[in-house]
Structure 1
Amino acid sequence: MADGSQVVMIGATGAVGGEVVKALIGMDSIAGITLLGRSRYEGPGDDRISHHVVDVSDPENYRHLLPGHSHAICTLGIGQPSKAERAQFLKIDRDLPLAFGRACCEAGVGHFELLSSVGADSASKSFYLRSKGELEDGLDELGFARLSLFHPSMILTPTNRYGASQALTLAVWPWLTPLLAGPLRKLRGVKVARLGQAIALNLDRTALAHSGAASETLEWDDFNRIVED
């Protein structure tokens, strides 16, 4: 492979994933972008992009594509978790990303980035947050040289993707932002494009959370710091 960062990713067809790819394309440090998914990637083209239609539920379908990558990114997830059955949610938001992480680790990928959620905690009473926390714990146990856990609160998209409830949220959330101060700053909504940029640009940075720590948790202030630096 060419000199520079080689990135492999699942979830590129989602709202956040699409923005991550756009940002990666604009980075000179990225030598190659391998996208894995069940459907065809139809975003902006670039000579560095290699797309493979695979069954992401079975690592044996894509394991041979992983060696040689320095970074892995997972933005896979159900758009409306509240409308999904628990078994389906666990499969897509916990089990598939963990299987991808395990396969990446075995292939020698040193840095793994995960789109997770603010409040993720395996001890949480919330099914959603507990599941996210279980995924994070599982990835942490794999022993990546660097693990970046992105914890957004509300992700603000430019268009309404999920009906009346999201329309209301998109209208109200910007007005709430000034009220979320101090410890509540991490609950501020983040524009999907800015979140995608932060995930991509973080590949070129050293860990932000704790000096020397393999795992870093990134929240609202971190997203903005990464993009604005």
Structure 2
Amino acid sequence: MTEKTAIVFGASGLIGSNLVRHLLANESYHKVTVLVRRSLGIEHAKLDEHLVDFANTNALNTLIRGDDAFSCLGTTHKKAGSREAFQAVDFTLVHTLAQIARGNGVTHLLLVSSLGANPGSRSAYLRTKGEVEQAVADLGFPRTSIFRPSLLIGERNEYRLKESLAAAILSPLGLFLLGPLKRYRPIAAEQVAKAMIEVAAHPAEGLAIYQNEEIAAL
């Protein structure tokens, strides 16, 4: 089995932190490179952690090298402070890092998006997610995998009132969301992380989009 290098963007987030933990335990990867603003506080022989300024793209260019790039970056309008600041993270930064990865020969981009992502959506959030999906797909990676989870469940480093309330309401109702409504069931961030690694483990080519129910099935 050929050992690979994984690169994780958004390693301190809800999905990213679970992803790093499982990648470090996965024998298919001999190195896990993470680019973060603050240290994760993890010590592991396979972890290659870099504290970076994401505005310095020249410095990033030397670090983003490997096989599979897992992009888990994301924020909210409230946390970002403005629509422009949200766009700077969820579109510009995601796209810039993907561009660098493509230029450095990364063969597989795995992107966390959102259920309902659509460049034509009235929702600024879902529109941005749809636009960045389209933009990274246009970069022409040999393989692009896009994941569209529903509401995420898990322990966050920060408290998000709206998401906490939604999870408290929807989680008990998940089993009653059947048929077309099944896609709206909340999903554990750890499930998404495991699904991404499962997809990366099986060779394929081209673009694939995994909806919430497909992620849960993986």
Report which stretch shifted further, 98-107 or 9-18: 9-18
Q: How is 1:49-88 mapped onto 2 (pairs within 5 angstroms)?
A: 49-67=47-65, 69-78=66-75, 80-83=76-79, 84-88=81-85
- What TM-score do the two structures reach when normalised by structure 1? 0.87
Using a 3 Å threshold, how does the CA distance of structure 1 residues 65 and 73 change in structure 2: closer, same or farther? same
- State the 1:59 CA deviation: 2.1
Q: Does 1:201 align with 2:193?
A: no
Equivalent-residue separation in structure 1 for 2:27 and 2:16 (angstroms): 19
SS in 2 for 1:143: coil
SS in 2 for 1:63: helix
Structure 2 counterpart of 1:223:
215
Contact map agreement 2:6 2:29 (CA 8 A) in 1: yes
Letter in 2 for 1:51: E
SS in 2 for 1:73: strand
Aligned pair partner of 2:134 in 133, 137, 147? 137
Structure 2 counterpart of 1:13:
12
- What TM-score do the two structures reach when normalised by structure 2? 0.91
- State the 1:100 CA deviation: 0.3
Contact map agreement 1:7 1:34 (CA 8 A) in 2: yes
Contact map agreement 2:6 2:31 (CA 8 A) in 1: yes
- State the 1:81 CA deviation: 3.2
- State the 1:159 CA deviation: 6.3
Cα RMSD (Å)? 2.0
Aligned pair partner of 1:89 in 86, 91, 96? 86
Post-superposition CA distance 1:88-138 (Å, at most 9, x none): 100011110100000000000010011110111111111111111110111
- State the 1:10 CA deviation: 1.2
Number of aligned residue pairs: 217
Using a 3 Å threshold, how does the CA distance of structure 1 residues 139 and 49 change in structure 2: closer, same or farther? same
Equivalent-residue separation in structure 2 for 1:197 and 1:156 (angstroms): 14
SS in 1 for 2:183: helix
Equivalent-residue separation in structure 2 for 1:57 and 1:197 (angstroms): 30
- State the 1:160 CA deviation: 8.8
Letter in 2 for 1:98: H
Structure 1 counterpart of 2:44:
46
Using a 3 Å threshold, how does the CA distance of structure 1 residues 97 and 159 change in structure 2: closer, same or farther? closer
Using a 3 Å threshold, how does the CA distance of structure 1 residues 94 and 165 change in structure 2: closer, same or farther? same
- State the 1:142 CA deviation: 0.3
- State the 1:3 CA deviation: 4.4
- State the 1:199 CA deviation: 1.9
Contact map agreement 2:151 2:167 (CA 8 A) in 1: no
* Structure 2 unpaired stretches of 5+: none
Structure 1 counterpart of 2:100:
103
Structure 1 counterpart of 2:181:
184
